[in-house]
Amino acid sequence: MGSLENERSVTGWAAKDPSGILSPYTYTLRKTGPEDVCIKVLHCGICHTDIHQTKNHLGMSNYPMVPGHEVVGEVEEVGSNVTKFRVGEAVGVGCLVGCCRSCEPCNSSKEQYCNKRIWSYNDIYHDGQPTQGGFAPAMVVHQQFVVRIPEGLALEQAAPLLCAGVTVYSPLKHFGLIKSGVRGGILGLGGVGHMGVKIAKAMGHHVTVISSSDRKREEAMEHLAASSLSSSPEMGSSSVRRSGSRPGLKSSARVGWITWVTPAWFTHKAYLQSGPAR
Ligand SMILES: [Zn+2]
Ligand SMILES: [Zn+2]
């Protein structure tokens, strides 16, 4: 149990160089301030960004770095101004832990667009200390960036909702697609796409998985209950890149929206030519 008066040491799993190997690293958590929630971490998802960051694929990694931004745990302690959370509640933290709180995005609940947003790890907090993520026993997080996990939701299954899940949920919400009977496509089934299929299916959509081959048919149809799978062997192939030829969807697989969740290069225009479908 922490104390409002004390900093404390924790030992997390840190990258110390771009090798991709994590090893124990002991560091100090800040005191639980008046607006802070101290969280005992119970589960943390692994997002591909964690791999990019630990291996310095983006050229901006600082070590030692404790990754993890799909964090779920239990409230262990709250600051004196925290009224939204109680000790013992299940909560989560995603990829942000801070912002400037005064710019236009911050004032319109779009903190992700704040120029001074603070990432959950590999960033510097307001106090000048490095932020460290959820591959650790505990985190201290400002209450603004803590979310409650609803009762009845398995905590380990809630974790991937905090990055992958919200990544696919957000555009559906933004474009007014949270309704049943819509036909949609998930282009790329590699983790985020899995969440996309499940979320869109739960909304009552007819979901077509668009994949470069038939290899993931069983996974898409039987494990995730997708409505159909449309394979485009040309997708991402170097021959398409060179020739500019256009893959696309069969007319029977026309969809009203597509969420792209693949890192591979491909000719995307063809997928936009079918026009809206119901
Ligand atoms: Zn992520
Ligand atoms: Zn701001």
CATH code of the domain covering residue 66: 3.90.180.10
Residue 229 CA to ligand 2 centre (angstroms): 41
- 195 alpha-carbon distance from chain centroid: 10
* Per-residue confidence (pLDDT) for residue 253, from 0 to 100: 64
What does R_g of the chain's alpha carbons equal in angstroms?
21
- Report pLDDT digits (tens) over 188-220: 998 999 999 999 999 999 999 988 888 999 999
Burial class (CB in 10 A: 0-12, 13-18, 19+), 138: middle
**Taking 50 as the threshold, does the pLDDT of residue 240 lie above it?**
no
Residue 50 CA to ligand 1 centre (angstroms): 7
Single-letter residue type at 132: Q
**Taking 60 as the threshold, does the pLDDT of residue 236 lie above it?**
no
Dihedral pair phi/psi, residue 99, rounded to 5°: -160, 180
Do 14 and 121 share a structural domain? Answer: yes
* Per-residue confidence (pLDDT) for residue 213, from 0 to 100: 85
- Report pLDDT digits (tens) over 11-23: 999 999 999 999 9
Ligand closest to the CA atom of residue 52: 1
Of 161, 184, 204, the residue at which a domain comes to its end is: 161
Do 44 and 124 share a structural domain? Answer: yes
Ligand closest to the CA atom of residue 70: 1
246 part of a folded domain = yes
Residues that place a CB less than 5 A from ion ligand 1:
47, 49, 163
* Per-residue confidence (pLDDT) for residue 128, from 0 to 100: 97
Which residues form the domain of 58?
8-161
Residue 101 CA to ligand 2 centre (angstroms): 5
The chain-wide mean pLDDT, for the chain, equals 89
Ligand closest to the CA atom of residue 195: 1
- Pick the residue with more confidence: 96 or 238? 96
Ligand closest to the CA atom of residue 47: 1
CA distances from 277 to 195, 221, 252, 270 (A): 22, 21, 10, 15
Of 128, 161, 194, the residue at which a domain comes to its end is: 161
Average pLDDT on 124-138 reads 98
**Domains held by the chain: number:** 2
Rounded CA-CA distance 112/114 in Å is 6
Residue 252 CA to ligand 1 centre (angstroms): 33
At 71, list the tokens.
């964090």
Do 146 and 38 share a structural domain? Answer: yes
- Pick the residue with more confidence: 75 or 247? 75
